[in-house]
């Protein structure tokens, strides 16, 4: 069959509404033109994030009822541990309440002042946690990953030559570990090839530097390897994931993505000393090591969800909806990052709105236009999120201005996608009317969440 269908039917519904255009204008003004400050009820289609926003399966809801809420050594913990061990093969497994909790404890136990932590691209919370411990977070994405237009696979790969140069420059003593983020969220949700993970590991072994995988979207990455990399077509997604983790010494995970859950995360590692230190911090900050800040029912949900994310039919369907959107944008000449990512489509706001200077934040103009046009909430990944100030206080824009449409898992149907495309096309046709913004108030870090904008 040519038509790829959702490999599920819907047993429970949640109503959504499109409030009137006048009310959308009022809501956005009240939110100081920052969509993070909108009420979710005022958003008809919410593409702010794919994190914690997915729909659970009947099996997960059933598992929830089996939750054992014992403080220590619960049955639910055993199931969670078994699933995570089957996938990652790691000796030590620690639940956390979400990804950044794992990152924060990891940075606390492993990162010292002036350390250098390479990654293909750090996610913003990973970077912030490393910097909070005094470390420097370096992005070493391959050159092809910077090219938004080339339709080639594995643009999330790390540049192994740059990594070798960084190790030579800073010395092994300053690099407690190296990270790889699968898929590369901030670089367009692009996958990392197994060949690249292997090559990075080979280099790191030479210098005895451990590898930590940021594994939020490990199952989507495994799907891309299955589809696109030689030698993997006959392997199951579970086998591919197992191979990916086999090259790592540890991993952090936000299970709000490929755990198909609304909350959860973990840290896993092979090293006994790391485990001992992590365990002590976990008890201090998150909870006893067999629940780590989660309820027993959350552990149940995750033990099922992590495996469902590796279901091939589910990944085929997920990718089909996302590439459907890519094909439409391509046919209309609307600029987006090619190829489409594993969890999102990224519109290229710089090309979409070339008349808006970067420090008037074209991404914010586009995000706000999508909201006003059709009640769609998206997020800017550009100069508001990644811009910075130099030592003279001058604002330096980000090299790229993107708008991310992140797709919650198993939530929106084909007609929702058609609606999104209609909204994007209308905005595209009226793009010359969209203006810039200036920031009227901002906090000292992670400003995109709470800053206020005024229209110019």
List 33, 34, 51, 193, residue binding ligand F0G (CB under 6 A): 51
Nearest to ligand F0G of 157, 214 (CB atom): 214
Q: Are 163 and 141 contacting, i.e. CB atoms less than 8 angstroms apart?
A: no
Rounded to 5°, angle at Cα 303 from 300 and 305: 105
* Shortest reach from residue 420's CB to ligand F0G, in Å: 18
* Shortest reach from residue 336's CB to ligand F0G, in Å: 17
Which residues make beta-bridge pairs with 405?
Answer: 345
List 88, 126, 139, 303, residue binding ligand F0G (CB under 6 A): 126
* Shortest reach from residue 130's CB to ligand F0G, in Å: 12
**Separation between Cα atoms, residue 224 and residue 118, nearest integer Å:** 23
**Separation between Cα atoms, residue 182 and residue 173, nearest integer Å:** 26
* Shortest reach from residue 5's CB to ligand F0G, in Å: 27
Q: Does 190 bind ligand F0G (CB under 6 A)?
A: no
Phi, psi of 385 (to 5 degrees): -75, -40
Q: Does 398 bind ligand F0G (CB under 6 A)?
A: no
Q: Does 123 bind ligand F0G (CB under 6 A)?
A: yes
Q: Are 293 and 284 contacting, i.e. CB atoms less than 8 angstroms apart?
A: no
Helices (H), 266-311: 272-285, 296-308
Phi, psi of 41 (to 5 degrees): -65, -20
Among the residue ranges 84-92, 98-106, 274-282, 387-395, the one whose residues contact ligand F0G (CB under 6 A): 98-106
Going by DSSP bridges, is the β-strand pair 344-348/402-406 parallel, antiparallel, or unpaired? antiparallel
* Shortest reach from residue 378's CB to ligand F0G, in Å: 11
Nearest to ligand F0G of 129, 383 (CB atom): 129
Binding mask 255-294 for ligand F0G (x = CB under 6 A): -x--------x-----------------------------
Q: Are 53 and 261 contacting, i.e. CB atoms less than 8 angstroms apart?
A: no
Q: Tell which residue, 95, 442, 373, has the closest CA to residue 256.
A: 95
Q: Are 382 and 346 contacting, i.e. CB atoms less than 8 angstroms apart?
A: no
Q: How many CA atoms lie within 13 A of 158 on its CB side?
A: 32
List 104, 129, 181, 358, residue binding ligand F0G (CB under 6 A): 181
Q: Are 214 and 177 contacting, i.e. CB atoms less than 8 angstroms apart?
A: no
Cβ density class 198-215: b for 16+ within 10 Å, e for less: ebbbebbeeeebbbbbbb
Nearest to ligand F0G of 267, 352 (CB atom): 267
Q: Does 185 bind ligand F0G (CB under 6 A)?
A: yes
Q: Tell which residue, 298, 300, 292, has the closest CA to residue 268.
A: 292
List 57, 129, 254, 290, residue binding ligand F0G (CB under 6 A): 254
Give the CB-nearest residue to ligand F0G.
99
* Shortest reach from residue 102's CB to ligand F0G, in Å: 8
Among the residue ranges 58-66, 81-89, 93-101, 389-397, the one whose residues contact ligand F0G (CB under 6 A): 93-101
Among the residue ranges 80-88, 94-102, 106-114, 134-142, the one whose residues contact ligand F0G (CB under 6 A): 94-102
List 79, 100, 155, 226, residue binding ligand F0G (CB under 6 A): 100
Nearest to ligand F0G of 265, 375 (CB atom): 265
Nearest to ligand F0G of 346, 419 (CB atom): 346
Nearest to ligand F0G of 185, 315 (CB atom): 185
The string of DSSP codes covering 352-389 is H-TTS-GGG-HHHHHHHHHHHHH-EE-EEESHHHH-EE
Q: Does 49 bind ligand F0G (CB under 6 A)?
A: yes
* Shortest reach from residue 445's CB to ligand F0G, in Å: 16
* Shortest reach from residue 212's CB to ligand F0G, in Å: 11
**DSSP symbol at 136:** E
Nearest to ligand F0G of 249, 360 (CB atom): 249
**Separation between Cα atoms, residue 42 and residue 203, nearest integer Å:** 50
Using CB under 6 A, count the residues that bind ligand F0G: 15
- The residues that touch ligand F0G, with contacts defined as CB under 6 A, are 49, 51, 98-100, 123, 125-126, 181, 185, 214, 216, 254, 256, 265
């Amino acid at each position: 069959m040519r038509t790829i269908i959702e490999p599920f039917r819907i047993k429970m519904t949640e109503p959504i509404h499109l409030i009137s255009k006048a009310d959308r204008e009022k809501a956005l003004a009240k939110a100081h033109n920052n969509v993070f400050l909108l009420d979710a009820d005022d958003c008809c289609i919410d593409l702010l994030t794919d994190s914690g926003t997915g729909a659970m399966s009947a099996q997960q809801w059933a598992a929830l009822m089996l939750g054992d809420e014992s403080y220590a050594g619960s049955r639910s913990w055993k199931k969670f541990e078994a699933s995570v061990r089957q996938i990652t093969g790691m000796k030590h497994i620690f639940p956390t309440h979400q990804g950044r909790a794992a990152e924060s404890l990891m940075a606390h136990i492993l990162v010292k002042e002036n350390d250098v932590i390479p990654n293909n691209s750090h996610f913003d919370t990973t970077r912030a946690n490393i910097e909070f411990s005094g470390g420097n977070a370096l992005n070493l994405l391959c050159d092809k990953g910077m090219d938004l237009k080339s339709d080639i696979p594995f643009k999330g790969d790390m540049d192994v030559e740059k990594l070798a140069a960084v190790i030579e420059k800073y010395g092994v003593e300053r690099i407690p570990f190296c990270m790889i983020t699968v898929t590369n969220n901030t670089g367009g949700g692009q996958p990392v090839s197994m060949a690249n993970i292997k090559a990075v590991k080979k280099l790191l072994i030479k210098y005895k530097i451990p590898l930590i995988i940021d594994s939020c979207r490990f199952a989507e990455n495994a799907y891309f390897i299955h589809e696109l990399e030689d030698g993997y077509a006959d392997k199951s997604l579970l086998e591919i994931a197992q191979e990916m983790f086999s090259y790592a010494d540890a991993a952090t995970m936000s299970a709000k993505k490929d755990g198909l859950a609304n909350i959860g995360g973990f840290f896993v590692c092979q090293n006994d000393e790391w485990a001992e230190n992590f365990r002590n911090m976990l008890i201090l900050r998150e909870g006893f090591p067999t629940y780590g800040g989660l309820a027993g029912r959350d552990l149940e949900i995750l033990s099922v969800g992590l495996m469902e994310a590796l279901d091939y039919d589910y990944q085929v369907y997920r990718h089909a909806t996302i590439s459907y959107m890519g094909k439409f944008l391509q046919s209309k000449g609307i600029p987006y990052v090619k190829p489409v990512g594993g969890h999102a489509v990224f519109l290229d706001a710089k090309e979409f709105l070339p008349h808006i200077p970067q420090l008037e934040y074209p991404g914010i103009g586009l995000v706000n236009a999508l909201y006003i046009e059709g009640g769609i909430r998206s997020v800017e990944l550009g100069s508001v999120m990644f811009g910075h100030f130099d030592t003279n206080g001058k604002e330096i824009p980000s090299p790229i201005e993107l708008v991310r449409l992140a797709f919650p898992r198993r939530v929106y149907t084909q007609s929702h996608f058609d609606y999104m495309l209609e909204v994007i096309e209308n905005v595209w046709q009226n793009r010359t009317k969209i203006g810039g913004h200036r920031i009227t108030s901002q906090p000292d870090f992670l400003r995109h969440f709470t800053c206020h904008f005024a229209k110019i």
